[in-house]
Amino acid sequence: MSGECFTPSSLEEAGRVLKQVLEQRRFAAILCRCSVNYKGRGSSWSSPGDRLIVVKPSGSIIIHGPQGFKPENWQPDGSTFAVSMSEGRLILVSMRKNPRETLTIEIEKVYSITSIGNPVKGAFYMYMSESEIRDYLKENPQLIEDGLRILEVEKPAGPGYVDLYGIDKNGVNVVIELKRVRAGEDAVKQLLQYLEFLKRKTGRVRGILVAPGFTESAVRLAYTAGVRLVQIDLKSLSDRIASSRRRTRDLTSFF
């Protein structure tokens, strides 16, 4: 379906268009002067200003002010809408239960409403997530340490889960904690918790923290606690993963 763009001459007219847009569950953007009131888990209030209201077919609403990456207010997928006029203002209310939250938008002036019906949803892929790195390291443990063998992924360990669990060339159990970003003291503490828990269960265990970088305090704590730090280069790993992905694809297209 094609897109539509509308510049209303009155608030009443804008209200009619807005109602249609919401009923037909169109993907829409409303540029307007409004103030917003939110009450639910928190509460917020904003004074009149120019904002962009995004309404999605899935039932979410997002309100952006002229700056910042984050929206000022929002309501997630599955919210319900109601449009009304009150005291010369166009009122858009969005409600959600569980938790019960209400978003009330008081619109003074609508600059434009643009929308599209039945929007085509494009595919979206994210690469180099922690799980992707983890799965690659599981198949290529020598990148972490020579002679290392991985036995388990996401092994439960008391308070949480161990990213990788294996055994080193000397037969000692190894707990591996993986971070996609520079690791701080907290990552070492987390690893130490797992180690303490597993020590009581399986006896001797070593810890390895794998990350692209480490904070000073992380290095210090790791040293005193006997945790080994292994630095990985994300870029070269990304290249390796990409080429292994290509290889796999070649194989499947071959057979």
Cα angle: 148, vertex 182, 125; to 5 degrees? 85
> Binding of a second copy at residue 168 (CB under 8 A)?
no
Q: Which two tokens stand for residue 25?
A: 């569950």
- Residue 193 near residue 158 (C-beta atoms within 8 A): yes
**Closer CB to DNA, 7 or 43, in the complex:** 43
Of 45, 111, 161, 223, the residue at the interface with DNA (CB under 7 A) is 161
Structure tokens at 124: 């979206």
Q: Site for DNA (CB under 7 A): which residue of 186, 196, 233, 239?
A: 186
- Asked if residue 217 binds a second copy (CB under 8 A), the reply is no
Reply yes or no: is the peptide bond before residue 99 cis, omega within 30 of 0: yes
Residue 121 makes contact with DNA by CB under 7 A: no
Rounded to 10 deg, the angle between the 185-202 and 216-225 helix axes is 20
The DSSP bridge pattern shows strands 80-86 and 149-157 to be unpaired
Instruction: Specify the DSSP class assigned to residue 204.
Output: -
Q: Which of 40, 59, 119, 212 binds DNA (CB under 7 A)?
A: 40
Decide: is 94 part of the binding site for a second copy (CB under 8 A).
no
Q: Is 97 in the site for a second copy (CB under 8 A)?
A: no
- Which of 9, 47, 68, 255 lies at the binding interface for DNA (CB under 7 A)? 68
Q: Which does 147 bind (CB under 5 to 8 A by kind): DNA, a second copy, none?
A: none
Query: What value, to the nearest 5°, has the Cα angle with vertex 149 and ends 224 and 230?
Result: 35
Tokens of 150: 């991985």
Instruction: Give contact residues for a second copy (rule: CB under 8 A).
Output: 2-7, 27, 29, 31, 33, 35, 41-52, 54, 56-58, 60, 62, 64-69, 72, 74-77, 111-112, 114-116, 119-129, 159, 180-181, 186, 189, 234, 238
